[in-house]
Structure formats: structure tokens, C-alpha cells
Structure 1
């Protein structure tokens, strides 16, 4: 049995029409999906833009708060200062001499050109300011008992709060490097003592003192 040409054309048209309809539905779905994706990406971009601006603003505010709350340098008198003086250093050693002496109060010799500390009797500060002190003391030989090396400020002056100490044991002949920052006013004095008295190595690489004026 054969089909008429009109019937074949009708069936072919139906198939083509169905395929075309499916294509249209697919295209519409893709358009909707692309639209939603675009809106989502735009939303994410806007969120990141404003969130980044907020973070930058927060960082700026934090820096402003830090800058406003960071204290200015304080002198020994308690007033703020913006000193432009350069950082200077004075170095001291015991000088080459007889290692046989038992020393209790160490007497230092300056090997620097700076003069903000006077050595006529004690270590006497000639200028107000902020300072950092570092020290190492090495004994000539092992001791039969522990030895305490101490840096102390004059208790009658503003430097009285300066106290720095280290103990040398029978197995460790050196204090190691000690250090501390502090304010001082003109006329303040400090001493370095060794108790009980002991023989101290006088080599500048083993026993030395330094004071840095930092403000």
C-alpha cells in the first residue's frame, strides 16, 4: 500500500514542526539560564566591590586609630618629645690590665668619641634622653660559688628603676649578653657590680659595656 504525496508531506511537516518546537524550547531555556548566570555573576561582582571597599576603609580606620593611639616618645620628666637627635653609641671596656685583681665595682674606660656619659667617678649621664644599655661580663676562671653581676641606677635619682642582673654559675663563666632600655636625666648615675668580688677577663671581646642614646 502506498501513501499519497499529500500524506507524506503532512507527516514530514509534523516531524519538522516538532523538532523546531523542541529547538525553540531549548533555546529559550538556554537564554533563561544565561540570564540567571549573568545576574548571579553581576551580584557577586557588586558584593565583592562593596565588600573590598569596606575592608579598605576598615584598614584605613585601623591605621588612623593606631596612629592616633601610638604614644609619642616620653622623656624622663614625663613630657612628650619629638627629638631629631641622631642615635649615638658609647662603648666601654675594662682596658688591658692585670687580671689578678678581685673586682666588685667595675671601673670602665670609654673607647668612643661620644661624651654623653662622664667617667670621672661613676657612669654619669650628661644629657636627658632615652637610652639602651647592653653588657657582658666574663670571669677569668670558674668560681667556687655563683657570682651575680648587676647594673643599678642611683636610688636617689630618676634612674633608680633601672635594675639588670645576671648570675654566673660554676659551669657558665659569662653573663651572656644583657640589655635594657630606660629614660635618664642629666646627673643620673649607674654602677656595675660583681658580687662576690671576682677576677674578670679584661678582653674587650669578652667583657664590655655599651650605651646607646636613642632619643
Structure 2
């Protein structure tokens, strides 16, 4: 998935006595995060950036911090490591914003070892903290094809009615 070529220019400074800062933002900018292999079972998944991040999000301490206000389409899939998945166990995978779950999926190891694709559009603001948790803790498959967090950034637009 690539970046959309269209660019918007927004005014970054609302003080009329100073020259406005013009910031170019690319609607549809995409980010990809790869799960970092945990040494054993984990309850909070750590993410590393797979491609260059233009200052929209930062990753540290098993969390992602939002750096720019906007609408974020978050695409998540988590797959368990087959060696460590116990038949008959049900796992809950949650995407949390500031400690509150806003996207949740289940893995029932009798049927599957993956959540399948989960996605949601969420308005996020600077300093929001995102975490992906799995309960009960489990060893995940960190292959990018089966465990990933993709993000599409869409800047907020002021509309006048």
C-alpha cells in the first residue's frame, strides 16, 4: 500500500500577527508496524516501525504514542505461534486507547490461531496512547504476513456548513 499523491496545505499557526506556518500533510499516508518477537508469552504486544514514520506515531515500551491529531484507520491482525497455542483456549485481543478498549477480537484455538483482519476508523489526538493486548498471555507469530498493525492517516478537515 503506498501513499496517496494528493497533498493538502493547512495553516499551522492561527496568530494573525505572525507569518502562518504552512504544513504539508499527505492524506492517505500509510504506516506499517511489525510485532516484535517476545522471548516467551506476552500480554502486551510490542511494535516496531516497518517503514519510515513521518512523525505521526512513535513506538516505545509496548505502546504507540500519537503525535498528530487526525483520523486513523487501524488494521490489526494477531496470530498465535502454533508451537505455543493450546487447543481449546480462547484468547481476547484488544486494541486500547488510553486504557479503554475500542477494538476487540477473539481467537478460539479449536477453530483458528488468528483473529483474522480487524479494522476501525478512530479519531485520535496528540499524546493518545495505543496498546495491543492479548489475554490470556500467549506467544505470537511475529511474521509480518500474519501479525501486523497497518495505519492509514487522514487529517482532520474543518468544514463550514
TM-score after normalising by structure 1: 0.55
In the alignment, structure 1 residue 210 sits paired with structure 2 residue 150: yes
The CA distance in 2 between the partners of 1:182 and 1:166, in whole Å, is 16
The CA distance in 2 between the partners of 1:174 and 1:184, in whole Å, is 26
Q: Which residue of 2 aligns with 1:151?
A: 95
How big is each residue's C-alpha offset from its partner over 1:68-115, in whole Å with a ceiling of 9 and x where there is no partner? xxxxxxxxxxxxxxx9731211101124x46x6101100001011123
* Superposed CA RMSD: 1.9
The CA distance in 2 between the partners of 1:205 and 1:196, in whole Å, is 23
Q: Shift in Å at residue 120 of structure 1?
A: 2.2
Q: Which residue of 1 aligns with 2:130?
A: 190
The CA distance in 1 between the partners of 2:60 and 2:96, in whole Å, is 18
Which of 74, 91, 101 aligns to 2:32? It is 91
How big is each residue's C-alpha offset from its partner over 1:46-84, in whole Å with a ceiling of 9 and x where there is no partner? xxxxxxxxxxxxxxxxxxxxxxxxxxxxxxxxxxxxx97
The CA distance in 1 between the partners of 2:42 and 2:81, in whole Å, is 11
Q: Which residue of 1 aligns with 2:15?
A: none
Q: Shift in Å at residue 199 of structure 1?
A: 1.1
Which of 122, 140, 147 aligns to 2:81? It is 140
Q: Which residue of 1 aligns with 2:72?
A: 131
- Secondary structure at the aligned position of 1:130 is classed as strand
The CA distance in 1 between the partners of 2:46 and 2:137, in whole Å, is 13
In the alignment, structure 1 residue 106 sits paired with structure 2 residue 39: no
TM-score after normalising by structure 2: 0.72
Q: Which residue of 1 aligns with 2:9?
A: none
The CA distance in 2 between the partners of 1:164 and 1:138, in whole Å, is 16
In the alignment, structure 1 residue 199 sits paired with structure 2 residue 143: no
Structure holding more strand per residue: 2
The CA distance in 2 between the partners of 1:129 and 1:94, in whole Å, is 24
Rg comparison, structure with higher value: 1
Q: Which residue of 1 aligns with 2:104?
A: 165
Q: Which has the higher contact order (CA 8 A, sep 6+)?
A: 2
Structure holding more helix per residue: 1
Q: Which residue of 1 aligns with 2:7?
A: none
